[in-house]
Amino acid sequence: MIRFENVTKRYPDGTTAVHELSLEVARGELVTLVGPSGCGKTTTMKMVNRLIEPTSGRILLDGEDISAVDPVELRRRIGYVIQQVGLFPHKTVLDNTATVPYLLGWSKAERRERAAELLDLVGLDPSRYGDRYPDQLSGGQRQRVGVARALAADPPVLLMDEPFGAVDPVVREHLQNEFLKLQSTLHKTVLFVTHDIEEAVRLGDRIAVYGEGRIEQFDPPAKVLGAPATPYVADFVGADRGLKRLSVTPIERGDLEEPPVVHLDDPIDKARARMRGEGARWAVVLDDADELHGWLAAEAVDSPAGPASPAAKSQDKTSPPTVADHARRMEAWLPLGSPLKQAFSSMLQHDAGWIAVLDDADRFVGVLTPGRLHEALRRSIDADERDVRRDEVELETVADA
Ligand SMILES: Nc1ncnc2c1ncn2[C@@H]1O[C@H](COP(=O)(O)OP(=O)(O)OP(=O)(O)O)[C@@H](O)[C@H]1O
């Protein structure tokens, strides 16, 4: 959708801001450009909407060389959001949002309707905020208006230059999450500039890590964090990149341990035999609907006279004991595909040595333990380095590494 072919930008004073850049952003993809101050990110961005002209090379938008497109017409196809939002101070929020529809000659009613729809989309109630002026908004709200305005004419492409850079970290994370939600329904082709690696990792389908005027690595976040292409990238993403990588590595089926599974109404003898047979210290307990109930510790069932729950004491002595009498509840569970970081955090929060993992239909699939979590991380790094799927990495490789 956006394609840079050997693009160079040299400023009149001799500064080469961008050097022989080749990069392709696919339709519907969100690419983050990340790098230190002055490395050429903004220059790259502004060449796409022709605020800056390249010295050499070509930029294609949907296959068309943009140097042949009238800049004004070009900019209608490209939404632009910048850090200093640039709202008109004397215009209301509604009118600011409707700027492009106004330039496109839409009727007043159409403009107001579209602007209200977009304000709603970015989480601002138009009846409450529509008639305010920009200085009556918080920083985060102004950024939202900036995003709404950029989306007003429904452009296929969005350029975002540090759009959330001027707000505090809590608001920024909130805006990032909202934007990701929006993007998951709008599927715009987005080029997003940031100097913050955390932001680049959180938002990007792929990240282009810039050195001086050139790309050092262009890969999905997990790969940039797990297999930095150069020492420069390793340094830029930071020594804690393993930790950062936890947040972009999903739980897969192959990562899970499969402890014995018993049901609440199973006789305790059967459960005991099952656990002994598999040499397991505990089993996962499911209810009648095969949904997760909790777990059963081997110690609790090892001796028939072992400690029983209050439920067991109160029950009719004639009926044989069941798993339900000894099972403990387990609240720590996550769906498949959740980031490993969430699994780790859930283990800490519940003080649990494992968490249950469920599929889309809430069926139990397996458990993630700290050991398995570490293995998953190691295997995913290895998989990225060798360009194979994670489940193709032999565990021996991990143990030997
Ligand atoms: N008009 C200009 N004339 C000369 N040099 C310029 C001009 N604009 C930018 N530069 C230089 O080009 C280089 C790249 O600038 P650019 O603004 O693209 O970087 P950036 O990565 O976006 O930085 P930041 O994160 O600080 O915004 C810098 O060395 C900058 O000083």
**pLDDT for residue 401:** 45
Hey, whose CA ends up nearest to atom 30 of ligand 1?
38
Would you say domain 2-246 falls under CATH 3.30.70.260? no
In CATH terms, are 2-246 and 253-376 the same topology? no
**pLDDT for residue 205:** 94
Cα of 3 vs centre of ligand 1, distance in Å, is 21
Please state the φ and ψ torsions of residue 259, each to the nearest 5 degrees.
Answer: -70, 165
Residues of the chain above pLDDT 70, percent: 94
Q: Is 3 exposed, middle or buried (0-12, 13-18, 19+ CB in 10 A)?
A: middle
Cα of 375 vs centre of ligand 1, distance in Å, is 43
Closest alpha carbon to 15 in 209, 217, 212, 236: 212
Binding-site residues, ligand 1, Cβ < 6 A = 11, 13, 15, 17, 35, 37-43, 195
The conformational region for residue 366 under phi > 0 = left, psi -120 to 50 = alpha, else beta, is left
**pLDDT for residue 306:** 46
ipTM passes above 0.90: yes
Average pLDDT in the 131-148 region?
88
Domain ranges of the chain: 2-246, 253-376
Select from 8, 16, 32, 43 the residue to mutate for testing ligand 1; criterion: most ligand atoms less than 8 Å from CB: 43
Rg (CA), the chain: 27
Q: Which atom of ligand 1 is nearest to the CA of 210?
A: 21
- CATH class, domain 253-376, is alpha beta
Cα of 158 vs centre of ligand 1, distance in Å, is 21
Residue 165 has, within 13 A of its CA and on its CB side, a CA count of 17
Q: Which atom of ligand 1 is nearest to the CA of 43?
A: 18
Q: Which tops the pLDDT comparison, 112 or 318?
A: 112
Residue type, position 385, single letter: E
Whether residue 327 has pLDDT greater than 70:
yes
Confidence of residue 398 (pLDDT cuts 50, 70, 90): very low
pLDDT tens-digit series, residues 21-30: 999 999 999 9
Between 139-151 and 108-121, two packed helices, what is the crossing angle to 10 degrees?
130
Q: Which atom of ligand 1 is nearest to the CA of 42?
A: 22
pLDDT tens-digit series, residues 295-312: 998 888 776 544 455 555
Confidence of residue 123 (pLDDT cuts 50, 70, 90): confident
pLDDT tens-digit series, residues 166-202: 777 777 888 888 888 888 888 999 999 998 888 999 8
Please state the φ and ψ torsions of residue 310, each to the nearest 5 degrees.
Answer: -55, -35
C-alpha torsion sign, points 289, 294, 300, 305 = negative
Hey, whose CA ends up nearest to atom 18 of ligand 1?
40
Taking CA atoms, 398 is separated from 23, 110, 384, in Å, by 34, 60, 13
Cα of 212 vs centre of ligand 1, distance in Å, is 11
Buried-state track 332-360, b at ≥16 Cβ within 10 A, e below 16: bbbebebbbbbbbebbeeeebebbbbbee
pLDDT tens-digit series, residues 224-238: 988 889 999 999 888
| 255 in Cβ contact with 372 (< 8 Å) | yes
Q: Which atom of ligand 1 is nearest to the CA of 213?
A: 14
Q: Which atom of ligand 1 is nearest to the CA of 35?
A: 21
